[in-house]
Structure 1
Amino acid sequence: MVFGADLRAIGREARAQVGPFALAAAATVVGSAAAFAAGGVDHRLAGALAAKNIGGGVNYVAVCAALSVGAGDFTAGIAVDNVAALIFFPLLAAWARRVNADGGGGEGGEDLIDTHSNLDVEIARKDDADASSADALTTAFVTVGALACGNVLANVAGFPTATLPCTTALAVIFATAAPTLARPIAATAEPLATSLLFVFFVIAGASSGDLSPSTLARYGDVFRYCAVLYAVHVALVAACATFIDGGRRKREFILASNAAVGGPATVAALATSAGWRRLSVPAVLCAVAGNAFATFIGIALSSAFGRFAG
């Protein structure tokens, strides 16, 4: 998924969206810290859930793998977080509709009619890249090669469980240094990665055991953690949207929150449904940047939480 994380393109095309996204990611970090302080969740799972709500499911898996999170905690975390997201996304969409109804949070209807903007050119360029996506064999070869290099790098660094974070770093470097080569691979790899991620979730769920009292208690702890995380995230993003620039950037903050908690697909869907077409590409690029950085943020938070708990 991070083969599309060309950091130079993100900085160039998504400059106006980077600030709101950074604040949304910071809101997740603060929410994670508040939730962890409330107790009940292991620091490793707390870091993984923070990564999930800055990047996405792939970051959650990477942090869990790097920190050796148990199958029970892994399943509880992803299950509860997905339930929380089922509440979060409709509320965010309702907020977007209210902003449109109030006519605030932006510069009117220009998002719907500017067909000559640089962002539209970027959309066309991305569509062309998708049309010429790499073949499956090339994609598999590059992906396996990146994983092998990441594994070697992790072992050389003395952290054998950090294969996925190291692979993420290598993929981001490749995507930034050679975007014309990486973009077709990303177009082919993303649906495959998403499918494999779902398979991984199913396998992890099947191996998590029965619903014993201890398992139910674990789910309760994770529910409380996610409730605090989401509540703080929403409160801070809403405050930023209200007070920064006199409330004229509400649309950017709504999309930034969606990009952090959801990902490229969900933020593109929200931007399209709300009629904010010109904001779609910057928001998607920021979501991709979240995928690139969230794993490392999650590991750093887990380390900080562990020291705090110790």
Structure 2
Amino acid sequence: MNSSLINPDDTWLLWGFMAGWAAVSIYLEQKYKWASKVTGAIIALIGAMVLVNFNIIPSAAPAYDAVWTYVVPLAIPLLLFQANLRKIWNESGKMLGIFLISSIGTVVGAFVAYATLQDFVPNAAKLAGVETGSYTGGGVNFAALSAKLELPGELGASAIVADNLLMALYFFVLIIMPSLAFFRKKFYTPYVDELEKNKSSDNENTVADYWKRKDISLKDIAFAAGSAFVLVAVSFKLAEVIDGAIPSGEDVGFFLNVMNGLLGDGYLMLTTLTVLAVTIFSKFFENIHGAQELGTYLIYIFFVVIGVPASLPLLIQNAPILVLFMGIIIFFNMLITFTFGRIFKFSLEEMILASNANAGGPTTAAAFAIAKGWTKLIAPIMLVGTLGYVIGNYLGSMVYYLIQ
């Protein structure tokens, strides 16, 4: 009954599927408009889910475990090589303010969602932590916190589907906001006003130029991969030592448990050491080309694996309540972002991009800015959104520990 066409021990065949389907998902997302709307993450997940439900590939295998053990940790530092805190502060100070306000909205929403739906959502505490991270930095944080908090595979697959469905709806809301009279009257819109004065803007050339092919050498690949391996190795070993040195459990009290959870956790230590290294040795890391692309590809392999344990009936059963759970988080993110953004006189465009970067990560926010023609905000939101990769892991862990 549990047999599949490809056996769990057929490691190379399973790796061929995971790596190959991740590549196909990226190709489809970048090639076709329908696929970009569905998102590559969902395409990656659905491909695995279909093959599992038709007993083509197994629902559990050592190859899948290797993705959680090795691929996800390696993706994190690669995607943090641009997280130079000094540069973010110096070049994006104003955008940083509204981004942090927006992330507070995510945290508030997570607590409200948990308090409201904890009796209806399985593993609600873990989901609140994972989605706090996801709605502060995007899919990278979802991967890291899913591994850290050991989110069950069935729930993870349903959460990815619900997450992407909600994101599609929310991004549609953000897209139409600048064109609605209510928001134009209530909020300051300098970038929209400038575009309307200069109708001859060539957004298509801006898009093509921004996403053009990058130069990359063997040295770039070596430095990117080598640095990621070293950072993961040092971080996980250091966290292991600290975990053994700081006691935890019911007998030691709240403070020591929190310190053990923060300092003794490999993923948080990895985030901390990577950001410190990138900030201190900024020239070295900023000159490595291709690290973000390589890290993103590894995350897509994770999205394939997330779809493996998903059964279609359970997916359909869980998705609606999860959409509601995540919808509460997004509602409070939006409410706090636009309320306090107006109080502190941020522009509507800055608020939209900050909320977008929280919900979908820096790449979706940069793509949004490009599509809208807000060229002056592309670099700031990319920098600030990258910070979401960092603080999302901490905020997600904090929410989970406080709930626990």
Separation of aligned partners in 1, 2:364 and 2:234: 31
Tell me, yes or no, if structure 1 residue 137 matches structure 2 residue 218: no
Tell me, yes or no, if structure 1 residue 175 matches structure 2 residue 257: no
Give the 3-state SS of the residue equivalent to 1:54 in structure 2: helix
In structure 2, do the counterparts of structure 1 residues 97 and 192 end up closer, same or farther at CA, with 3 Å as the change threshold?
Answer: farther
Tell me, yes or no, if structure 1 residue 28 matches structure 2 residue 130: no
- Paired position in structure 1 for 2:58: none
Separation of aligned partners in 1, 2:197 and 2:235: 43
In structure 2, do the counterparts of structure 1 residues 291 and 111 end up closer, same or farther at CA, with 3 Å as the change threshold?
Answer: farther
TM-score (norm 2): 0.65
Task: Check whether the contact 2:268–2:394 (CA below 8 A) recurs between aligned residues.
Answer: yes
How far the C-alpha of 1:26 sits from its partner, in A, is 0.7
How far the C-alpha of 1:276 sits from its partner, in A, is 1.7
> What amino acid maps onto 2:188 in structure 1?
G
Q: Which moved more, 1:86-95 or 1:229-238?
A: 229-238
How far the C-alpha of 1:132 sits from its partner, in A, is 6.2
> What amino acid maps onto 1:44 in structure 2?
K
How far the C-alpha of 1:291 sits from its partner, in A, is 0.8
In structure 2, do the counterparts of structure 1 residues 175 and 255 end up closer, same or farther at CA, with 3 Å as the change threshold?
Answer: same
Q: Could you report, residue by residue, the CA deviation over 1:215-246 in whole angstroms, capped at 9, with x for unpaired residues?
A: 5443333222012112222222232344432x
> What amino acid maps onto 1:177 in structure 2?
I
Q: How does 1:105-120 map to 2 (within 5 A)?
A: 105-107=188-190, 108-109=193-194
Structure with the bigger RCO (C-alpha within 8 Å, sep 6+) is 1
Tell me, yes or no, if structure 1 residue 12 matches structure 2 residue 98: no
- Paired position in structure 2 for 1:266: 364
In structure 2, do the counterparts of structure 1 residues 167 and 10 end up closer, same or farther at CA, with 3 Å as the change threshold?
Answer: same
Q: Could you report, residue by residue, the CA deviation over 1:71-102 in whole angstroms, capped at 9, with x for unpaired residues?
A: 11221222211111011112111113448994
Task: Provide the aligned C-alpha RMSD in A.
Answer: 2.8
How far the C-alpha of 1:44 sits from its partner, in A, is 1.1
Give the 3-state SS of the residue equivalent to 1:4 in structure 2: coil
Q: How does 1:192-231 map to 2 (within 5 A)?
A: 192-208=294-310, 210-212=311-313, 216-231=316-331
In structure 2, do the counterparts of structure 1 residues 97 and 110 end up closer, same or farther at CA, with 3 Å as the change threshold?
Answer: closer
In structure 2, do the counterparts of structure 1 residues 236 and 176 end up closer, same or farther at CA, with 3 Å as the change threshold?
Answer: same
Give the 3-state SS of the residue equivalent to 2:137 in structure 1: coil
Separation of aligned partners in 1, 2:279 and 2:197: 30
Q: Number of aligned pairs?
A: 288
Give the 3-state SS of the residue equivalent to 1:298 in structure 2: helix
Separation of aligned partners in 2, 1:251 and 1:216: 36
Tell me, yes or no, if structure 1 residue 295 matches structure 2 residue 393: yes
Structure 1 residues without counterparts, runs of 5 or longer: 114-123
Task: Check whether the contact 1:17–1:252 (CA below 8 A) recurs between aligned residues.
Answer: yes
In structure 2, do the counterparts of structure 1 residues 70 and 275 end up closer, same or farther at CA, with 3 Å as the change threshold?
Answer: same
Tell me, yes or no, if structure 1 residue 191 matches structure 2 residue 293: yes
> What amino acid maps onto 1:105 in structure 2?
Y
- Paired position in structure 1 for 2:239: 154
Separation of aligned partners in 1, 2:306 and 2:381: 31
Tell me, yes or no, if structure 1 residue 253 matches structure 2 residue 253: no
Structure 2 residues without counterparts, runs of 5 or longer: 1-78, 199-208, 244-259
How far the C-alpha of 1:69 sits from its partner, in A, is 1.5
TM-score (norm 1): 0.84
Structure showing greater Rg: 2
> What amino acid maps onto 1:180 in structure 2?
K
Task: Check whether the contact 2:138–2:357 (CA below 8 A) recurs between aligned residues.
Answer: no
Separation of aligned partners in 2, 1:295 and 1:26: 14
Q: Could you report, residue by residue, the CA deviation over 1:268-307 in whole angstroms, capped at 9, with x for unpaired residues?
A: 122122222112211111101111111011001111122x
Separation of aligned partners in 2, 1:241 and 1:250: 8
> What amino acid maps onto 2:112 in structure 1?
A
- Paired position in structure 1 for 2:267: 164
